Structure 1
Amino acid sequence: MKEIINPERLVSVPFSKTDCGVDFYINTATNKDIGPVLAEYKRFKTDFFSFYFFRKANGFLLLNFRKIELHDGMVLLLSPHQQQEWHVDEAALDYTFLIFREDFMRTFIADKFFVYRLLYYYQTDTPPYLYALPEELAEYIRLLGKIKQELLHPVADTYNLIVSVLYYLLLIINRAYAAAYRLPVEIAKNNYAFQYKDLLEQNIRTMQRVQEYADKLRISRITLNTSVMAQFGVSAAHLLKQRLLEELKNELLFSNRTVSQLADDFHFSDPSHLMRFFKQQTGKTFTQYLQDYRNGIYE
């Protein structure tokens, strides 16, 4: 394979305070308030979290390289910088959305690894959604209503109140997500697992050995693996391979890089080593995977 062509331009959509009509990097409303926006760009990514609480849904979303069928009662939890391509009839949708940037909470929440404690944040093994019972969905939307009221009528302590409600909302969704997918919810004895996930986001293109991350954290590989297993239910090596594979698939599908260039980008010593890793993880060659995607076979 000589070249991987990106057939359409990917649009980056930043959070806009002006468009949202608020002074903070957060907003919530219903789709009826804002009109059709999901199909404004064929393919786009954002720099903020986007949560959708669907009362009525239809169609599907292509998130990076995955196809997600949309259903009534679904809570969709999208992390920043994920590529989105919506295939829906917007006029028939009924949902409330919540969008916010990670840095919105930093002044209030001292824990810089807080988002990594959310099991749905950049998850690769479980889906970025859960289904809510009617009473659960009503509670989520009630909390969003409190946030909206503060945004519409801000006073001196509005910021603190909004972050408090948001913090509570994120945690109860996290608890529901953990229960839905039977994920560990143990209280962390240390921050190693969350620091590891943070380092993966920063270094996945240049560091592909668990020992390198352990060295960076100044702990043993055994200690790191034990911490990751306790928090995420998988090994450190598994987490690394899945994050690397996620990045490779996105580059394969949505960039103009050749296999040789990808090998250089990801610090593989030889393109054959990259191709072997990809085949081991997916069961497909680069060419097969790309052809399947173009034929509407998504994973």
Structure 2
Amino acid sequence: MAKQRQRLIEVPFSKTECGVDFFINTAHGRERPGVLTEYEAFKTDFFEIFFIRKANGYVLIDYRKIKLKDGMVLFVKPHQQQEWHIDEKALDYDFLIFREDFMRTFIADKFFVYRLQYCQQTKTPPFLMCSEAECKEYQWLLQKIGAELRQPEADSYHIIVSVLCYLLATMNRHYAREYQLPFAAPKNNYAFQFIELMETHIRKLQRVQDYASLLKISRITLNHSVMAQYGISAMNLLKQRLLAEIKNELLFTNKSISEIAYAFNFPEPSHLMRFFKQQTGMTCGNFQEDYRNGVYE
């Protein structure tokens, strides 16, 4: 039987529920039972990283089906749609969650998370497969963060931030090497500023030139910066971001194609439908029907 269109639940970070003083937490999955399957479909306002020792089932992240495996590190960005199809009691994992404003508060580099390839790429998988030695190192680092969170002292946030930066940067190096992504030191911050601007303006601005104008640089300069940092063009990155937003509207709202088209500043609904077909190879209606019938990317 086809699934009825569901509501996408938004789950905010709660320091009270997490029992911590900062917008960051880590623990074993058994300490937070039921959180992955409490809602059929949901998104959060924080970064989530899952370090999976013993896996079962699969997860949908923005309609992309990811089969869970032992030794996998799974990355989920804020506001990505999630559906977990698992036996949660049998899933053995640690988690690390943090809000971006935690990073911005305690790290001078405000673009730090934009430098993390696994937080920006959509063409490469949102996970790493780790060796036993890597898993042990990551687990030890998580334990260091957890210990400071559970029994904070005057310098705890310095230690937490230091260990967190090391962990995230180490995994970024691993991810870039695994998927053969650019890893040179950036010559400027234009690519990171482009990502930041899209988060605010994607519903109204869908031309690279619009963002180049906001940054007061040429389109060519912006494209070179994005290519150097992420290995894809600025236009492709913009299209991926726009497509993800449109998919959310198609699946989790009752808006018509016309309403969605105008919400995203398309001149006519046909322009949106043409864009969607070019990017996915299917019509908006086919995409909705496939999802209702359990057919995923």
Q: Same fold (TM over 0.5)?
A: yes
- Report the CA distance between 1:7 and its aligned residue: 2.0
CA distance in 2 between counterparts of 1:107 and 1:263 reads 37
Q: Does the 8 Å contact 1:64/1:83 carry over to 2? A: yes
Q: What CA deviation, in whole Å up to 9, does each residue of 1:166-196 have, x standing for no partner?
A: 0111100111111111110010000011111
Q: Does the 8 Å contact 1:193/1:227 carry over to 2? A: yes
Q: Which shifted more, 77-86 or 135-144? A: 77-86
Query: Which secondary structure does the structure 1 equivalent of 2:26 belong to?
Result: strand
Q: TM-score, normalised by structure 1?
A: 0.95
Q: Which shifted more, 121-130 or 19-28? A: 121-130
Query: Which secondary structure does the structure 1 equivalent of 2:250 belong to?
Result: helix
Q: Does the 8 Å contact 2:54/2:93 carry over to 1? A: yes
CA distance in 2 between counterparts of 1:239 and 1:140 reads 30
Counterpart residue number, 1:33: 31
Q: What CA deviation, in whole Å up to 9, does each residue of 1:30-85 have, x standing for no partner?
A: 11223332111111111111111000010011112111111111101111111211
Counterpart residue number, 1:225: 223
Counterpart residue number, 1:104: 102
Counterpart residue number, 2:155: 157
CA distance in 2 between counterparts of 1:273 and 1:9 reads 26
CA distance in 1 between counterparts of 2:33 and 2:278 reads 44
CA distance in 1 between counterparts of 2:89 and 2:247 reads 32
Gaps of 5+ in 1: none
Alignment counterpart, residue 290 of structure 1, candidates 284, 288, 293: 288
CA distance in 2 between counterparts of 1:115 and 1:259 reads 34
Alignment counterpart, residue 261 of structure 1, candidates 249, 255, 259: 259
Structure 2 letter corresponding to 1:99: I
Q: Does the 8 Å contact 1:6/1:253 carry over to 2? A: no
Alignment counterpart, residue 242 of structure 1, candidates 201, 223, 240: 240
CA distance in 2 between counterparts of 1:69 and 1:204 reads 30
CA distance in 2 between counterparts of 1:6 and 1:193 reads 39
- Report the CA distance between 1:122 and its aligned residue: 4.0
Structure 2 letter corresponding to 1:169: L
Alignment counterpart, residue 121 of structure 1, candidates 119, 138, 159: 119
CA distance in 1 between counterparts of 2:33 and 2:109 reads 36
Structure 1 letter corresponding to 2:157: Y
Counterpart residue number, 1:48: 46
CA distance in 1 between counterparts of 2:30 and 2:276 reads 43
Q: TM-score, normalised by structure 2?
A: 0.96
Alignment counterpart, residue 11 of structure 1, candidates 2, 6, 9: 9
- Report the CA distance between 1:221 and its aligned residue: 0.8
Q: Does the 8 Å contact 2:4/2:292 carry over to 1? A: no
Q: Does the 8 Å contact 1:6/1:256 carry over to 2? A: no
- Report the CA distance between 1:6 and its aligned residue: 7.0
Structure 1 letter corresponding to 2:54: K
1:76-225 equivalences in 2 (<5 Å): 76-225=74-223
- Report the CA distance between 1:234 and its aligned residue: 0.7
CA distance in 2 between counterparts of 1:286 and 1:176 reads 36
For the aligned residue pairs, the C-alpha RMSD in angstroms reads 1.3
CA distance in 2 between counterparts of 1:249 and 1:41 reads 19
Query: Which secondary structure does the structure 1 equivalent of 2:105 belong to?
Result: coil
Structure 2 letter corresponding to 1:269: P
Gaps of 5+ in 2: none
Structure 2 letter corresponding to 1:29: A
Q: Does the 8 Å contact 1:6/1:254 carry over to 2? A: no
Q: What CA deviation, in whole Å up to 9, does each residue of 1:7-28 have, x standing for no partner?
A: 2222211111122111111111
CA distance in 1 between counterparts of 2:178 and 2:292 reads 32
Query: Which secondary structure does the structure 1 equivalent of 2:106 belong to?
Result: coil
CA distance in 2 between counterparts of 1:192 and 1:108 reads 22
CA distance in 2 between counterparts of 1:18 and 1:82 reads 23
Query: Which secondary structure does the structure 1 equivalent of 2:53 belong to?
Result: strand
Q: Across the two proteins, how many residue pairs are aligned to each other?
A: 295
Structure 2 letter corresponding to 1:179: R
Percent sequence identity is 63
Query: Which secondary structure does the structure 2 equivalent of 1:53 belong to?
Result: strand
Q: Does the 8 Å contact 1:50/1:97 carry over to 2? A: yes
